[in-house]
Amino acid sequence: MELPLETVALFAFKLAYETEGESPILRDDPIMSDYEREVFGLLVRRGDVEGIQFRVAHCVGSAMEALGGVDTPLGRELHRLAADFSTAQTMDQLEAPLIALKDYLKDIQ
């Protein structure tokens, strides 16, 4: 589960901060330091659903701003997917909404 979590963070930050013509944001970029696979791995091993949701919400919030908020079609869909993720109460319940969120962020890159 750590890789999809890191991927969601990466794609969200790419939407929020990457500009055309500049160096792309990569997994080893300083902005990713609190969102690395190892950080998510620790949260997963602890079963810290709220900690995972908090970190993902921060990333998705940045992407949401870049998309123009919930008043845009892309923003509404991102908000819906993020809401599905945020309502999960167990680690098992996080998986399906996480994959949907990851796939959506990848598609809108």
How many other CB atoms are there within 10 angstroms of residue 11's CB atom? Answer: 24
- Burial environment of residue 77 by CB neighbours within 10 A (0 to 12, 13 to 18, 19 or more): middle
pLDDT tens readout for residues 57-102: 999 999 999 999 999 999 999 999 999 999 999 999 999 999 999 9
C-alpha span between 37 and 32 (Å, rounded)? 9
Provide the domain count of the chain.
1
Give the predicted TM-score (pTM) of the model. 0.93
**Residue 21 clears pLDDT 90, i.e. is over it:** no
| Structural domain that includes position 65 | 2-107
